[in-house]
Structure 1
Amino acid sequence: IYKCGGIDKRTIEKFEKEAQEMGKGSFKYAWVLDKLKAERERGITIDIALWKFETAKYYVTIIDAPGHRDFIKNMITGTSQADCAVLIVAAGTGEFEAGISKNGQTREHALLAFTLGVKQLIVGVNKMDSTEPPFSESRFEEIKKEVSSYIKKIGYNPAAVAFVPISGWHGDNMLEPSTKMPWFKGWQVERKEGKADGKCLIEALDAILPPARPTDKALRLPLQDVYKIGGIGTVPVGRVETGILKPGTIVVFAPANITTEVKSVEMHHEALQEAVPGDNVGFNVKNVSVKELRRGYVAGDSKNNPPKGASDFTAQVIVLNHPGQISNGYTPVLDCHTAHIACKFAEIKEKVDRRTGKSTEDNPKSI
């Protein structure tokens, strides 16, 4: 983000100095992101655009899905709004093994991403500087083989996934080809839309295929956050999933049924005449306080098939980390786009084979 101009040099230098003073010099970049997050949470208006940078082809918005187990809820919120997942695995001795072990996070994150509909994947094999010996080809190949076999079981096609050996700290293969890994001839991907290849992580981002954007459907914009910005007012933020959002639209927020007019729509610091699916935007609304809106609400056009709250619905459910038995009356927390809400399985109608989609049992007592 920093090298592509998403954060200014002054900010980095300030955080570098603080990190040094606290003996955390080696965490400079992680520190920057955490510091900005903390400031954002304290309500200092930090520009939401800090997480963006430009490549030769795209504007990239980073949703920093935290890796910590306690953050699974936030990770679901973030991941459900992504076009592509970049799975970072650590190449250090023991670190990779811990992540890919039966209860490891690498597994859980890859499975969550696929289950939440993120069908494009890039794998960054990080910390190549800390392998034995440093920048080891055999370690990279070992990890590539193991991760390929795992993601294939989930449903990804490894041939369509770029595997890039990197060192985020030293910058190897991030933006420019590294001189430390002469053995790496580059990554290649094959998909029905064609082939792509390159040496660095940024080129792998440029090889992402933009998904088809459903502009013809009714507007749906799940809120990721709501900010109060001095001199402007209430600014909900989220990604347009379907439809088009324009200034002047009379939006309704479901399920609270709050209606208001959109004054302006902004992305990458620029006012937009319209936001289309895939755009992560902030929009300013009239006469609604920050307290009335919350993450998980969905904005729609009050005049065109607006979203409405529902007390029940029929769903297809995939179970991860199965608790042993699930029967009618089971009460999980439902994570729906950016919302988290307690619910109950009123009746289990059928059991379906995940890979074929065929029903294997009707009205099962339990699964």
Structure 2
Amino acid sequence: MEDFNEKNVAMTIKMTKLNVNAKPFVPTYAGKPILENNIENAPDDWESMDQDKNIIRSVLKEDNGAGGGGVNLINHFEEDMADIKINSNVASVNNDNHSDGDYIESHVNLAADELNDFKKPLKSNLHDEIYKENVNIVFIGHVDAGKSTIGGQLMNLTGAIDKRTLEKYEREAKEKSRENWYLSWALDTNQEERDKGKTVEVGRAYFETPTKKFVILDAPGHKCYVPNMISGTTQADIAVLVISARKGEFETGFEKGGQTQEHAMLAKTIGVRHLIVLINKMDDPTVKWDHERYKECKEKLLPFLKKVGFNPKTDLHFMPVSGLQGTFLKYLPDKSCPALAWYSGPSFLDYLETFPPFQRMFDGPLRIPIIDRYRDMGTLVLGKIESGTVYKGQTIYLMPNKNLVEVLQMWSDEVEIKKAVNGENIKLKLKGVEEEDVCPGFVLCDILHPCRTGKLFDVQIVILELKSIICPGFSAILHVHTLIEEVTVKILICLIDKKTGQKGAIRPRFVKQDQAAIIRLESIGTICLETFKDFPRMGRITLRDEGKTIAIGKILKILE
């Protein structure tokens, strides 16, 4: 009898370990399952859980003769384990002993169960806080407009960077006679960018407000780094066009040869719908918050932005700011600021808070175009979830090579998470692929609905700026989602009337500037593609040649 009581005590201890919030165990065999079906409270050490399960199983089987109640309790335990172990390690699957069909089917069923679980109210993976919407903001504009400075000031005002680090940057900048650059160093992290005062790679930082979590994407403004700017803008939900109001700088950036026009056009082409125009450096001695200078900049920009496709009523918002002083970024200035006499709108952060939630494809097939990859105790990749949801422990495809990979770990803003949804920028640690076998432009996707691949496809384009003509055999650089690939024109299918949209009946011999056409392109290798109809953000293309954007368009059909 004493031996039986000791076993009951041991079983009670083992069962209560599974949930720190569990009530004391009462051996009512006809009761409901003991474990709560709550993935948030599940422990990470699944191996120890398996050991506990085996111990309890042996104890209950020994006691099975007393009324047979132990068998029912084992069944309850197995059901709870099946529910709670959604994100357990799937590495135990042996490809040598299972066919690919069985392997894929098992994980498709698992993904369906996870999707049902996701439809519950969203909460943070590591805390019991309400889920905050993730919003990606890209800062674009001509070089030296103040993009990095505004990004650094936002981090300062929201507490995303500590005071000691900022003071360190200020001392280092002063030593190099660059006192006004210290805020930009929060985003320009490498020595080349700090020495030249020019952003080369897309800087990335994070800050939060009471209702949203923002990702800052600091795009380079120099014309030599437009491909990097395109890569950053493909991740954005909102674009912020930064304009310098300083005398001479606005004209240099906006007129021919500057990057203001090209950046705004590329943002619209890539699919960014909302554009906030920050007219910066209003505190400069050549401006002094002059209303006339503000109106001059706005009146010159507005016709061009309307021509690009932005609706002034719904897609555009103008505001004056000072990135260096932080004026109108988080707080409105005091009454001494001359701008209060003519600007009565909200601050930049207050305006961002007014945006309604973005429409996200949470239930869509998973799509994560890879931005970058590197090795650090395994293969790590960076990307934005364009559709669907991804879980820790999930097995997915890496296209176009169709590699089965497992998600070992995930991070968002350097915080480890177990689940990420459409719109989030994440870092993933993958099992089943080496770092040298992954390239930017590859796509992580569902096993059930993989991303389409091909090397021959039809596109509809508009020729923007081209001194020569486009004919079969013409080569250019294709930008689509995060992919950069050389393509060749195979066939000119037809011209399109830009006013009526009608297709011409005669196949053209060439296409020139300001014409619209449907053409067939061929890439050197197989690439990941989606049609504009199925995935608009992954179906928009840009063609560049000799450092200039020559055409924009969309993918109509993927042939092979």
- TM-score normalised to the size of structure 1? 0.87
The verdict on how the C-alpha distance between 1:358 and 1:131 changes in structure 2, with shifts beyond 3 A counting, is farther
Higher helix share: 2
Residues 101 and 326 (structure 1), Cα distance of their counterparts in 2 relative to 1, 3 Å cut: same
Aligned-partner residue type, residue 219 of structure 1 = L
Q: How does 1:1-367 map to 2 (within 5 A)?
A: 1-35=155-189, 51-130=205-284, 132-160=286-314, 161-179=316-334, 180=337, 181-187=339-345, 198=346, 200-229=347-376, 233-301=378-446, 303-353=447-497, 357-359=501-503, 362-367=506-511
Q: Which amino acid aligns with 2:255?
A: S
Distance apart, 1:273 and its partner CA = 3.4
Report the alpha carbon displacement of residue 36 of structure 1 after superposing the two structures with TM: 5.3
Residue 101 of structure 2 aligns with which residue? Answer: none
Inter-CA distance 140–131: structure 2 relative to 1 (3 Å threshold):
farther
Number of aligned residue pairs: give it: 345
Per-residue deviation at 1:266? 2.1
The one-letter amino acid of 2:223's match is R
Which residue of structure 2 aligns with residue 194 of structure 1?
Answer: none
The letter for the 1-side match of 2:440 is R
Residues 256 and 11 (structure 1), Cα distance of their counterparts in 2 relative to 1, 3 Å cut: farther
In 1: Cα distance, 2:344 partner to 2:228 partner: 33
Q: Which runs of 5+ in 1 are unaligned?
A: 40-47, 188-197
Q: Distance in 2 between the 1:201 and 1:91 partners?
A: 17
Q: Distance in 1 between matches of 2:342 and 2:383?
A: 38
In 1, distance between residues paired with 2:191 and 2:350?
27
The CA deviation string for residues 284-313 of structure 1, in whole angstroms up to 9 with x for no partner, is 112433222222111112x21222531111
The percent identity for this pair of structures is 33
| TM-score when normalising by structure 2 | 0.58
Q: Assess if the C-alpha contact under 8 Å between 2:246 and 2:287 holds in 1.
A: no
Between the aligned partners of 1:247 and 1:37, the Cα distance in structure 2 is 35
AA at the equivalent of 1:328 = P
| Cα distance in 2 for residues equivalent to 1:127 and 1:30 | 14
Partner SS state of residue 114, structure 1: helix
How far is the alpha carbon of 1:216 from its aligned partner?
2.8
**Distance (whole Å) between structure 2 residues aligned to residue 49 and residue 267 of structure 1:** 16
Q: Which structure has the bigger radius of gyration? A: 2
The answer to whether the Cα contact below 8 Å between 1:352 and 1:361 also exists between their aligned partners in 2 is: no
1:103-143 CA-partner distances (Å, limit 9, x unpaired): 32110110010111111110000000126341111111111
Equivalent position amino acid for 2:320 in 1: P
Shift of 1:37: 8.4
Q: Which amino acid aligns with 1:267?
A: S
SS at match of 1:62: strand
CA gap 1:247/1:133 in 2 versus in 1, 3 angstroms: closer
Distance 1:111 1:361, change over 3 A: farther
Query: Could you say which residue in structure 1 is the equivalent of 2:61?
Result: none
d(CA) in 1 for partners of 2:293, 2:174: 32
- Cα drift, residue 320 of structure 1: 3.2
Residues 322 and 271 (structure 1), Cα distance of their counterparts in 2 relative to 1, 3 Å cut: same
Contact 1:7/1:50 (<8 A) preserved? no
Change (3 A) 1:38 1:98: closer
The answer to whether the 8 A contact 1:114-1:154 is kept is yes
Which string of whole-angstrom CA distances, capped at 9 and with x for unpartnered residues, describes residues 265-293 of structure 1? 22134333322211111111124332222
Residue identity matched to 1:351: L
CA distance in 1, matches of 2:256, 2:357: 33
Contact 2:406–2:431, Cα closer than 8 Å, also in 1: yes
The offset of 1:322, in angstroms, is 2.4
**Larger deviation, residues 310-319 vs 62-71:** 310-319
